[in-house]
Chains A and B, each alone.
Chain A
Amino acid sequence: MTKQKVMMIDLDQVRAEALDSIAAAGDLEGLEQLRVALLGKKGSVTAMMKSLGEMSAEERRTAGQRLNTVKEAVAQALDSRKAALDAAALDQRLARERVDVTLPVRPDGQGRIHPISQTIDEVVAIFGQMGFAVAEGPDIEDDFHNFTALNFPPEHPARLMHDTFFLPEKEDGSRYLLRTHTSPVQVRTMLRQPPPIRVIIPGRTYRCDSDMTHTPMFHQVEGLVIDKATNMGHLKGCLIEFVKTYFEVDDVPVRFRPSFFPFTEPSAEVDIGCSRAGGELKIGAGADWLEILGCGMVHPNVLKNCGIDPDEYQGFAFGMGIERIAMLKYGIPDLRTFFDSDLRWLKHYGFLPLDVPTLTGGLTR
């Protein structure tokens, strides 16, 4: 074959044949073989490139240009064919890898926070914002802290077998008891630290009582403020703020009506407005009142019993049932279910672990 022929005839044919066979390559392997056959060290195009050396400078320039064009076209065709085959292979793999995305995900054990804990956290968030610390005390108490120091008269029915749980009588005739309210922690707090005092006391309490609306154990939260200036106006303001924040109802009417407790004077019970229209209880403006807590100014005898001078110091105390306010806010119908550990109940009425009540973020989701 003359050089002239190589230059004029073979190149067009080589190019056409190469492009045809590239286009016909059915898989990556065949395409790679083609690449080697054309552009490899011993490939046909490479061989032609090598033959350029035998030409004159003039010829080489023209033939070189043409040969380069062919080489580029072949290389480009190889690349694009490879891309196309790659894409087809990927498509095939993807089709093979298809899963049924409607299948359910792996189960994640989801825990819950008990409504009692969550309600206590809410109460702590609200009173904490008003500067109340949290105090705690023992469940087993003695007569002094549970009754005597709190100004219960000696013959008060609560001291007798009526609703106090007692431990066995000791040799000296005294007996320990299960605290009937969280108020003994008031006494312990006052005996431990000098005023000013501002604490709330959540905790377990016990009464010898069990029926539809009473359980032998329940929870209370108690509040105590002792300083030189706190009066009933503060008591009202503090509890009204609490009620509005806790129930998340701005216009809930609040009523303080006189009542009696041995450890406060004056004493009050607090009612909030509600509506029972259509058999559904709604906290807020309405025709009815709902009693939710007891409170009052700390009785001077209690202050004296705790070593505090009632002429110098004064303050208020309040107490309410945790389960009760939880039932009212969250529409939980039956007190006894709080203590049944029924997982269906716990999952329904319980709270997610990340739902930490705050005043900035909102108490309740």
Chain B
Amino acid sequence: MKFTLSWLKRHLDTAATVAEIAERLTMLGLEVESVDDPAARLSGFIVGHVLEADRHPNADRLRLCKVATGQATLQVVCGAPNARAGLKVVLAQPGVVIPATGEALKKGNVRGVESQGMMCSWRELKLGEDHEGIIELPVDTPVGAPLTSVIHLDPVFDVSITPNRADCLGVRGIARDLAASGLGSLKPLAVEPVKGAFASPIDVSLRLSPETAAACPMFAGRSFRGLRNGESPQWLKDCLTAIGLRPISALVDITNYMTIDLDRPLHVFDAAKLSGNLHARLAHPGERLAALNGKTYLLDDTMTVIADDAGPQGLAGVIGGEATGVSADTTEVFLEVALFDPMRTAATGRKLAIESDARYRFERGLDPAFVVPAMELATRMILELCGGEASQPVIAGALPAERPAITFRPRRVAQLGGIEVPAADMRRILEGLGCTVGGGDESFAVVPPSWRADITAEHDLVEEVIRVHGYDAIPTLSMPRPAVARPVLTAQQRRAGWVRRALAARGVVETVTWSFLPSAMAGLFGGGKPELNLANPISSDLDAMRPSLLPNLLAAAGRNADRGVKDVALFEQGPQFHGERPGEQHAMAAGLRAGRTAPRHWSQPTRAVDPFDAKADALAAIAAAGGPAEGLQVVAEAPSWYHPGRSGSLRLGPKTVAWFGEIHPRIAAAFDLKGPAVGFEVFLDAVPLPKAKATKARPLLKVSPFQPIDRDFAFVVDRSVAADAVVRAAKAADKALISDVSVFDLYEGPHVGEGKKSLAIQVTLQPVEKTLTDAEIEAVAAKVVDAVGRATGGVLRG
């Protein structure tokens, strides 16, 4: 919403400065986006007098002018068609910054002749769009005077209006808020009905059913004859130009002015082009309207139109029709002032993609009581600027019912706002906003003004009082809280943080990727349900909710490889989606390693990532989440996006806690990954939460005074035997004495035979009662050999 200072002052009596007004507007919730003060950028320009304007010796279309500055006479080359002797012009001398270019003017040489200055157009000064020629100032303008002293230059405010403040889409509404806050006083708006000189030859009616009556509750108008649709007076043109509107003709300018000034869009038809009377109705499906913007629209029966006997002549609240628009020749008009349903107007505008100042206001809601007053004000303006005479008004529909009073308890202001405002001040604020305030100091009876549809209940009035009184005045209070802060995170929240930092500590870099992915990829990762495809994706790359975090990490690895970073270790914590209903998502920690595990180094060879890197990450994540590392079963099964022979699941009973392994080569290829890639996916919610304990004390540490003994065994087993089975069997051989079993060698090859492998394990015996004798150690060793043999068919390697 743009307006100038002088426009504001047509409604507001104030001595406040531009800065004070801007500050107050913002603190009233009418946020000032910018204040543009043209005087500041035009301080260097002066009035020049063209003494001579001769043809340029070397160019037919240029003029060589002698321009008086009051102190000197300059030679200026000018290309404007209207440059001629006797003109009073706006002159820039070298060094002055030209607003349109942002550059300082330099002495120039144009076709061999020196030019010592520049005569400017409106556009060059950024004061308008006119660039037909140079500005012609009035002939009596004093030569040498600063431009800012001889033309009307108005600071322009640009204010952003929140959707609840439809009333501030008019300058008067803004002035009213400022006045209510004490920054001046609102000037009265006198509405004196114009007595009609004749009966309107055009009548108005509402052709709506009771169900659709809300589409147009009121339609008023009147006819004019004998008028002349010439140019608007300078003050009106100045107002419109300053806020970026182009003056067109008096009638069009009047409707624009009423829109901005009083937030009251209205429409003027060329009465000579109308057939019969006007009525408001819903459009018939298939009807068309050629609109004032030069486009033709196909209408349907959700849209309100103003129609005559020939068909729709305007799209209610949105745009007028071209066929009945006014022109310079227009002498008879019909003025339409109506109310339209905001929602219907918004829907129509959206459907047809028409943005207009009228739509913007109608869809936010107009003052329903202002139809007839607006008609009278517009009538006076038309008669004043265009002459002619007005008919008696015609009105269809009715004024809205009087608004009921709202009970307002002033104490609610202190309760909600935390600020004491004297009752008298509250009364003054509410009355300043246009409310009628009755009742006593304990309880007001407040009737809000017709232009404030947003005020419907007590809390709205509380807000108004606090807002106008000022948020700055509210004393700040500390949140009451315990003297020593208590933990606030849940067990799940705490461990999510531990998992994150544990993975990062392992050298994996955390990233955050989209919750969506290309639907084609979703299918490769167990997703692809149509219910989880977005109805309105931003692009086809982001059109499905992700069923897994891995595809986005794979894509990220590919992007990094393209940038020359081939060794990648990335993880993400976030949701993946298995159903479309709220809550059908899993909290995941997933990671991807690709390329080599470390950069090349002089001390050791590098190696490519392998499934055990991913398994280690998964185990670390589960351990950080407090999972029971001991109770996890490792099963050589994983979903299809993993390499079938190099992947596995980590399970707790029937629950899958994690998958890990090498990414299936076909999937890796789909992401253009050259080398191997391994990944893991941990279902964080599948890791059981530790039981709450009554005490934080650790179990007592028991250490044996006797040295542990290590014994090594090498078993030859079938290739298909899981190492885990050998380890478990060995451990179970003597639970009292065997404290640990680890695998330290794996061999497959000619020495053990086809289809076999050799697994070397180290068994640690921890005596607890006494040092073991050789015979006792041998006995345990025999039990290990026996147990492994029975469980896996393994025999000691000869």
Contacts and interface: CB of A to CB of B under 8 A. Distances in A.
Contacts of A299: 459
Contact of A232 (B466, B500, B545, B577): B466
A138 B504 contact: no
B334 to A, nearest CB: 31
Nearest to B26: A257
Interface string A265-301: 1111100000000000000000000000000010110
Contact of B485 (A128, A161, A175, A347): A128
Given A109-B508, A114-B512, A176-B580, A259 B162 contact: yes
A339 B516 CA distance: 12
Contacts of B457: 300
Given A113-B501, A257-B26, A265 B460 contact: yes
B568 interface: yes
Nearest to B484: A129
Given A338-B512, A347-B509, A141 B477 contact: no
A87 to B, nearest CB: 31
B361 to A, nearest CB: 15
A107 interface: yes
Interface in A122-152: 124, 128-134, 136-142, 145
A138 to B, nearest CB: 4
Interface stretch (B62-70, B213-221, B414-422, B741-749): B414-422
A111 B514 contact: no
A74 interface: no
B102 interface: no
Given A169-B535, A258-B28, A240 B476 contact: yes
B29 A117 contact: no
A233 B479 contact: no
Contacts of B462: 265-266
A217 B489 contact: no
Nearest to A204: B515
Given A140-B584, A260-B165, A233 B510 contact: no
Contacts of B533: 167-168
A138 B565 contact: no
A136 to B, nearest CB: 8
B501 to A, nearest CB: 4
Interface in B516-552: 516, 530-539, 542, 545, 552
Interface stretch (A1-9, A49-57, A349-357): A349-357
A360 to B, nearest CB: 10
A107 B580 contact: no
Interface in B568-614: 568-570, 573-575, 577, 580-585, 597-599, 601-604
A169 B536 CA distance: 11
A333 B42 CA distance: 35
B234 interface: no
Nearest to A219: B512
Contacts of A241: 478-479
A137 B389 CA distance: 66
Given A233-B419, A341-B556, A130 B601 contact: no
A113 to B, nearest CB: 5
Nearest to A146: B582
Interface stretch (B300-308, B467-475, B710-718, B765-773): B467-475
A258 B27 contact: yes
B581 A140 contact: yes
B417 A134 contact: no
Interface string B433-476: 00000000000000000000000010110110011000110111
B563 interface: yes
B233 interface: no
A94 interface: no
B581 A131 contact: no
A256 interface: yes
Given A232-B417, A256-B471, A314-B415, A111 B506 contact: yes
Contact of A236 (B165, B474, B504): B474
Given A133-B488, A140-B585, A354-B505, A166 B510 contact: no
Indicate the member of A175, A231, A241, A267 with the most B CB atoms within 10 Å: A231
Contacts of A231: 414-418, 477
Interface residues of B, number: 101
B416 A232 contact: yes
Contacts of B476: 233, 236-237, 240
Interface in A54-109: 103-104, 106-109
A248 interface: no
Contacts of B165: 260
B471 A232 contact: yes
Contacts of B580: 140, 167, 176
Given A104-B602, A232-B471, A354 B501 contact: yes
B510 to A, nearest CB: 4
A166 B500 contact: no
A343 B462 CA distance: 52
A329 interface: no
Nearest to A209: B538
A112 interface: yes
Given A134-B488, A256-B471, A339-B514, A204 B575 contact: yes
A111 B508 contact: yes
Contacts of A106: 598, 601, 603-604
B507 interface: yes
B497 interface: yes
Contacts of B508: 109, 111
Indicate the member of B165, B501, B510, B515 with the most A CB atoms within 10 Å: B510
B500 A117 contact: yes
Contacts of B601: 104, 106-107
Contacts of A344: 563, 565
B201 interface: no
A117 to B, nearest CB: 6
B164 interface: yes
B509 A343 contact: yes
Interface in A207-257: 208-210, 216-217, 225, 230-234, 236-238, 240-241, 255-257
A145 B582 contact: yes
B485 A129 contact: yes
A165 B537 contact: yes
A148 B435 CA distance: 30
A175 B598 CA distance: 48
Contacts of A237: 476-479
B559 A341 contact: yes
Contact of A140 (B535, B582, B599): B582
A183 B270 CA distance: 51
A137 B471 CA distance: 32
B71 interface: no
A363 interface: no
A151 B500 CA distance: 37
Interface of A: 103-104, 106-114, 116-117, 121, 124, 128-134, 136-142, 145, 154-155, 160-161, 165-169, 175-176, 178, 204, 206, 208-210, 216-217, 225, 230-234, 236-238, 240-241, 255-260, 265-269, 297, 299-300, 310, 314, 338-344, 346-347, 350, 352-354, 356
18 contacts: A103-B602, A111-B504, A111-B505, A129-B485, A130-B479, A131-B486, A139-B585, A145-B582, A161-B536, A165-B536, A176-B580, A204-B575, A216-B538, A231-B418, A260-B29, A300-B459, A341-B559, A343-B565
Given A117-B500, A134-B493, A139-B575, 14 more contacts: A109-B569, A110-B507, A113-B501, A138-B583, A142-B582, A210-B538, A217-B514, A236-B474, A255-B472, A257-B31, A267-B463, A268-B471, A314-B415, A356-B497
Shortest 4 CB-CB contacts between residues of A and residues of B: A109-B507, A258-B29, A233-B418, A111-B504
Interface of B: 26-29, 31, 162-165, 342-343, 346-347, 350, 414-419, 457, 459-460, 462-463, 466-467, 471-472, 474-479, 481-482, 485-490, 493, 497, 500-516, 530-539, 542, 545, 552-553, 556, 559-560, 563, 565, 568-570, 573-575, 577, 580-585, 597-599, 601-604
